[in-house]
Amino acid sequence: MAIVQIGDAARTRAPEGAWTLYYLTRAFASRMSSILLWQPLLNTASVALGAIVLSMSVGGVLAWLINRTELAGRGWLATALIIPFMLPTWTLALAWTTIFKNRTVGGQPGWLENLGFATPDWLAYGRLPMIVILSLHYAPFVILILGSALQRLDAQLEDSARILGASRRRVAFQIVLPLMRPALLSCGLLILADCIGEFAVPYVLGLPVGFDTLSTSLYRAISTRQTGMAAVMAAVIMTIGVLTLYIDTRMMREARRFAIVGGKGAMDRRRPLGRWQFPATGFALVFFAIGVVIPLGTLFLSTIMRIPGRFTPENFTFDYWIGSNLDTVALRDGILLTPEFWSAGLNTLIIIGSASLASGVLGLLVGYVVIRSPFATLGAFLRQITFMPYLVPGIAFAAAFLTLFAVPRGPIPALYGTSIILILALIADQMPFASRSGIAAMAQLGKEPEEAARVAGAGWWRRMVSIVLPIQKRALASAILLPFISGIKGVSLFIILAVPATDVLTTYSLRLVDYNYTQAANAVVLMIALLALAGTILINRLTGNGIAKGLES
């Protein structure tokens, strides 16, 4: 970003390849910088903050209801309320446009518009819907993190206060809340880091009305070949990510100072809701409806309607799924009969599948080395280096990969346009999670089983294959499935690195959105959501409550 890029020689009045401050000045201190950087930054910040406040208040209440009250159906809700987090964010975004889209942009109008309600721009696009959608997506994350923190909190800490005469309210504010503070702050910061890198939602809801965020600006810079500007944007995003996570790490260290070994939990810590039972259950169900039922239902309905929002029998059709020789310009067959769909699906499975497999196994190996290595420094180094990619939001990460592998470097050929670059980027992107869960899994497995095998005469390979892997097979399965889910719902890596030949389902659906094939796009998104859901259910089956644990480690 400090080197004059191809084609910019005339503007910068310096030869190509020379050092320059042109891009930095242009981004930070020129007449353009308000449009280029400050406005997107402001937009990103306002959306992120709105999403944090809303998701933490909604998620916090739900976490408390599920873990500390006798909420009706809480066992079922504990799983059901997590689903929005497992759906790709732009599932919600597309469902939103399907309902609220107005005449500001072309293509088929939304349902409300067709039913005769003119939806204003502030409701259809931009800040408000983005905040709502990101909140829906991250509230389950809050439920998971706060819920597990609440469960781990030693109930005797609360009991002691009550014995001394504190009311429930006082216990909540003077004991529980201060002890939950690290979890709350950490939760907020992680959401912030994720929101800054979020691409799909602003792409669907922001771009049509020129509501730019940092990630869409970056995308625009890359797609218009302004590599210098793209580098500046990527650097800004990275810096924010690194800062956020630095604060988070510092705070976690601070929090550990207070850590104390807990005793056995109490039994009667759930409180009856009494007359609040009905509204509380209603609240949880409403969240489930808005976060899961309505978006998925909307998307499905939209794929079987010719004209959006017209609920008459002759308007319904399965043509967009299984029809052929349709009366359209392109995409004349239903989505399930289109070869591109299947090739994108196959690509998805191959690329994301092999990347997940690799990162799962690598993660476990990293865990093995970190825990077993006799050299403490090597372990610490590995732990650090595998966590590095987490500091960088996916979109900036992809941009870095693009510049790295767009041209041949030494023995490595230019990888851009191949699936290798996608797999490599995905593995690197998933390493933080994979290595964390590998370390956690290996830390729980004592040395003894392996030492016993060693005494019995087993070499390293045999110990791995016959002892370590079988014991860790559940951990390994979730270490493969978690990256798979997050890969399948992630957009930012692919949007930068994929080309039509390496189309995966996500990029394919976004392309369809671009061409305004709403029904087809929604159908593809539905399929992605189903895949992510199936993966989630599989993990829950395999590990009980593996998702919460996987996210924490």
Partner 1 sequence: MPDITLTHVTKNYGSHGQLAVDGLNLTIANGEFMCLLGPSGCGKTTTLRMIAGLEHLSDGEIRIGDRVVDSLGSGTFVPPEQRRLGLVFQSYALWPHMTVERNIDFGLRLRKLPEAERRAKVNDVMEKLRIRDYAKRYPAQLSGGQQQRVALARMLAVNPDILLLDEPLSNLDATLRLEMRAELRRLHEEFGTTIVFVTHDQWEAMTLATTIAVMNGGRLQQVGAPDDIYSRPVNRFVAEFIGNPPINMIDLGDTSSQGGLASRLFSDRPLAGATAVGIRPEEITLVPNADAVPLGLLRLESIMPTGGSWIMEFSLGAERLFHATHLRPMARPGDMVACFAMPEGLHLFDAKGRRIEENEIRATGAAQPAGISRPALLPA
What is the contact surface with partner 1 in residues (CB under 8 A)? Answer: 154, 156-157, 159-167, 170, 174-175, 178-179, 257-264, 266-268
| Phi and psi torsions of 271, nearest 5° | -110, 140
CA gap 296, 293 in Å, rounded: 5
Comparison of 181 and 383: residue with beta carbon closer to partner 1: 181
Both structure tokens of 163: 């014995």
Length of the chain in terms of residues written: 553
Which residue, 39 or 156, has its beta carbon nearer to partner 1?
Answer: 156
Q: How far is the CB of 451 from partner 1 (least distance, A)?
A: 29
Q: Which is nearer to partner 1, 210 or 262 (CB)?
A: 262
Contact 446, 472 (CB under 8 A): no
Looking at the Cβ atoms of 31 and 256, the one nearer to partner 1 is 256
The SS3 call for residue 3 is strand
| Least separation in angstroms between CB 179 and partner 1 | 6
Report the residue number, 121 or 154, with the smaller CB distance to partner 1.
154
Nearer to partner 1, 268 or 327 (CB): 268
If the CB atoms of residues 123 and 157 are measured against partner 1, the closer one turns out to be: 157
Report the residue number, 161 or 431, with the smaller CB distance to partner 1: 161
**CB of residue 396 to partner 1, shortest distance in Å:** 36
Q: Which amino acid is at 400?
A: A
CB proximity list for 233: less than 8 A, separation 6 or greater: 27, 37, 214, 217, 218, 221, 396
> Which is nearer to partner 1, 31 or 169 (by Cβ)?
169
Query: Least distance from C-beta 175 to partner 1, angstroms?
Result: 6
Structure tokens at 66: 């599920």
Cα–Cα distance for residue pair 208/104, rounded to 1 Å = 8
Closest approach, Cβ 168 to partner 1, in A, equals 9
3-class secondary structure per residue, 99-110: HHCCCCCCCCCC
CB of 154 to partner 1, least distance (A): 6
Token pair listed for 56: 């933490």
Contact 401, 421 (CB under 8 A): yes
- List Cα–Cα distances, 412 to 398, 405, 427, 502, in angstroms: 18, 8, 18, 19
Q: What are phi and psi of 488, to 5 degrees?
A: -75, -30
Q: In angstroms, give the least distance from the CB of 269 to partner 1.
A: 9
Find the shortest distance in angstroms from Cβ 178 to partner 1.
5
Structure tokens of 271? 């409180």
Closest CB 155 distance from partner 1, rounded Å: 9
In the complex, least distance from residue 550 CB atom to partner 1, rounded to whole angstroms? 26
Structure tokens at 42: 């402001």
Residues whose CB falls within 8 Å of the CB of residue 113, separated by 6 or more in sequence, listed in order = 101, 102, 103, 119, 309
Q: Would you tell me how many other CB atoms lie within 10 Å of the CB of residue 453?
A: 17
**Which of residues 157 and 207 has its CB atom nearest to partner 1 in the complex?**
157
Contacts of 252-259 with CB under 8 Å at 24 or more apart are 252/182, 252/186, 254/182, 255/181, 255/182, 258/179
CA distance linking residue 541 with residue 233, whole number of Å: 41
15's CB contacts (< 8 A; 6+ apart) are: 4, 9
Compare residues 68 and 436 and give the one whose CB is closer to partner 1: 68
> What's the CA gap between 429 and 391, in Å, rounded?
10
E-strand ranges in 363-515 read none
SS3 348: helix
C-beta of 158: minimal distance to partner 1 in Å? 9
